[in-house]
Amino acid sequence: MEWEHHLRFSLRRSPHSIRAYIATAHRLVTFLGQHRGEIIDKAALHTLNLAEMRAYLAERRQSGLANNSASREISAIRAFLTFAGVDPLPALKGPRLKKGVPRPLSPQDAVSLAKEVSEDAAQPWIEARDLALLLLLYGSGLRIGEALSLKGNQFPFGAILRVTGKRSKTRLVPLLEKVRAALEHYVQLCPFPLAAETPFFFGAKGGPLSADVIRRNVRKARYQLGFDNKVTPHALRHSFASHLLGRGADLRSLQELLGHASLSSTQIYTAVDAARLLDVYRAAHPRAEREP
């Protein structure tokens, strides 16, 4: 399918995004076919109007589509119509989104989470694996997908790690000595040999480790530790960014370390730092309880 090929090789979307974009295109074409009572081809897409776009989105909202999902749906439709050569695009505006501020874990809680997950492992090498992986997410600010994309031939690691992020962009991130030591300990215990074609992080049966396994383990650990249900593997990346900003890192440097395409994605952490300071103020100031 040309649309899938375009997403994969021209736009370099992730497998998850490719599935979502293809599903959106299929829903739109199906809706238009039912709405117009005709077969929808590329020429028909060029006659798509704003009223039809609004009717499609209204139907999707009636099925329970939330604001964030509706915004992504519109983005996927615009990409699909652009690929089909539709110009100009129907000027449909997405819903207003309220930006959430990620709440970071404290350094102690980040390490406690990693230890709680690892100590629940069935085998010593899996314990070492989980500890190394979660410390890597927190110590270097990686997305879980980036960590799991590491290959066996990248080991041994130095003080700097080359990571492949979204849209196949590479960046360099620091590797703390304690994190490197945890990674080396995992390799010593791992029963599967590392090679160019193997993942660095193995699953229990020797295949690639699934992100869902780690997410499930983190859910269990956060319950045992009494942490908020927003504590996920990605929260460790938020914590990395927030702690660096709190210690004086500038936004441009943080943008490079996180692999953000635009500075606006990084600026959310200025709100995180302000929220942290407000929490400290409310806890410590004798008259803070009267503040709105």
Q: Which residues are catalytic?
A: 143, 166, 234, 237, 260, 269
CA distances from 109 to 130, 178, 226, 281 (A): 16, 16, 11, 21
Tokens 């991130």 belong to residue: 173
Q: Which amino acid is at 268?
A: I
Whether 179 contacts 132, CB under 8 Å: yes
